[in-house]
Amino acid sequence: MPIFQTLLIYDLLKRSYVRRQCGLYVIPCPQQEFRLLEGELLLGLSETRDHLILWDLESGHIKGRIKASHRESLLSRTSFRDMKSQDIPSREPTALVMPWDRRTETHSAKKRRLERKAQREKEEQRRMDREKHNSVDQYLLSGDEQVLVCSYFAHHLVVFSVVSQDHLHTLEDRASMLFLYTAALTYSGSHLVLSNYNDTERVSYVTLWDLRKGRVRKRLKNEPDVCCMAISTDGSRVAFGITGTNRLRVWDPFRKIHKNITGYENLTMSVNSQLYVTEEGAKAILLAGEVSLWDLDASTVLSVFTPDSRIQCLSLLGEDNTLLLGLSDSPTLVTLKLTSQEPSKMSASGDDLFGEESSEDEGDSAEPQQTSQP
């Protein structure tokens, strides 16, 4: 396969290339799977996507590999090849045995039923073990770049430490496929919240995992079609949107509080919506066509910013609610920052909350501050 052999390092402040290194071996990945970490490190996936690689940008060489180390299960002590060769679906009946059938069941029939049950459990365990060899589907990195969570298109997730490159926990749910498409990680990597569907109960959940202990902390039942999600820094508040609605749902898992906040009239959430929680869970910023600011404590929408151009992407910078926008028809980046006004002093409609002051000369909204892209 093609590889990247040349590394160019660009200084955004100097607006020039500062280093060029040749003779490297960097595995190509989709753009979103490369992450530049503090300490001159580049994070990406291996050629077979079974582990992650850390490249040192100073030397250009591999500094470390982050791999999963799964323990062998108690029900299956065969090798991976043997498990594949034994992948024969059971043709025995799996119907439930009713109590009145058990009363008339013979000793030999009971023995056969228990053997079939044990065989089904072994086959289920072998299937779970085979999933441990799947390639990485997606990963999330905590804001402090200390904790890494990987999904494998399987019934489990793996938690790693970036600093020590150790496998910390395996989060497993036998009844649900665990994905990271609709998930959020706290800044320190202490908690993970995600949307999952339980195949046994046929119910959708929003599940909060404690990544330090590797177990489920709380669950919220009957929450289908979750399209965007955010979590506070301490994991005490979760906000998420539902596809096709104009409402934002807020869940305080440790206080057992769950409420809906109705948005503005033209709001429609989709899988492309982005959601951020700020100010320790008191405020939320939503990108769903327009950019809107929500007061989660007061259960209201404070302001909506609607530019003339379609917003392609949004990033939250720091803790001062500064937003970085990318527009569809402009090569420049737009910074959007809240004014210093207190919410109690603002008008009920939330005018000028985003600093989009009107121009008295032309009667049109003034353009936000623009920062040219290097």
For the chain, the straight-line distance linking the first and the last C-alpha, in angstroms and rounded, comes to: 31
Q: Which residues contact 213 (CB under 8 A, 6 or more apart)?
A: 169
Q: Determine the pLDDT at residue 360.
A: 38
- Compute the distance between CA of residue 124 and CA of residue 172 in angstroms, rounded to an integer: 13
C-alpha 191/C-alpha 198 separation (Å) is 20
Distance, in Å, from the CA atom of 357 to the CA atom of 25, rounded to the nearest integer, reads 51
Strand order across the 191-198 sheet: 183-185, 191-198, 203-210, 215-221
Query: How far apart (Å, rounded) are the C-alpha atoms in residues 271 and 84?
Result: 36
Residues forming beta bridges with residue 10, ordered by sequence position: 17
pLDDT confidence of residue 292: 92
pLDDT at 83: 41
Taking the C-alpha atoms of residue 354 and residue 302, their distance in angstroms, rounded to an integer, is: 10
Q: What is the pLDDT of residue 249?
A: 95
With a cut of 70, list the residues of the chain below it in pLDDT. Answer: 39, 71-97, 319-320, 339-374
| pLDDT at residue 115, as a whole number | 85
The candidate with the shortest Cα–Cα distance to 33, out of 18, 17, 47, is 47
Half-sphere exposure of 138 (CA within 13 A, CB side): 11
- What pLDDT digit, counting tens, does each position of 94-107 carry? 556 677 777 787 88
Distance CA 203, CA 220 (A): 10
Mention the CATH class of domain 136-371. mainly beta
This prediction's pTM:
0.78
d(CA 105, CA 101): 6
- Residue in 222, 261, 219 with CA at minimum distance from that of residue 241: 261
pLDDT at 319 (0 to 100) = 63
What is the pLDDT, as a whole number, of residue 189? 94
- The neighbouring-strand residues paired with 323 are 316, 336
Show the tokens assigned to 111: 């023995």
CB 136 within 8 A of CB 151: yes
CA–CA separation, 272 and 362 (whole Å) = 34
> Which residue type occupies 301?
V
Residue pair 287/311 in contact by the 8 Å Cβ criterion? yes
Nearest to 241 by CA among 200, 327, 301, 191: 301
**pLDDT in the model for residue 237:** 95
Which helix (H) or strand (E) segment holds residue 130: the answer is helix 107-131
Is 214 within 8 Å of 170 (Cβ atoms)? yes
Helices (H) and strands (E) in the chain, counts: 3, 26
Complete edge-to-edge strand list for the sheet that includes strand 147-151: 138-141, 147-151, 156-161, 167-172
Residues of the chain with CATH 2.130.10.10: 136-371
Do residues 341 and 355 make contact, with C-beta atoms less than 8 angstroms apart?
A: no
What is the model's pLDDT at position 7? 86
Residue with tokens 């323990």: 71
Count of other CB atoms within 10 angstroms of residue 240: 23
120: enclosing H helix or E strand? helix 107-131
Instruction: Output the DSSP codes for 163-210.
Output: TT--EEEEEE-TTB-B-STTEEE-TTSSEEEEEEEETTTTEEEEEEEE
Closest residue by Cα to residue 165 from 252, 256, 63: 63
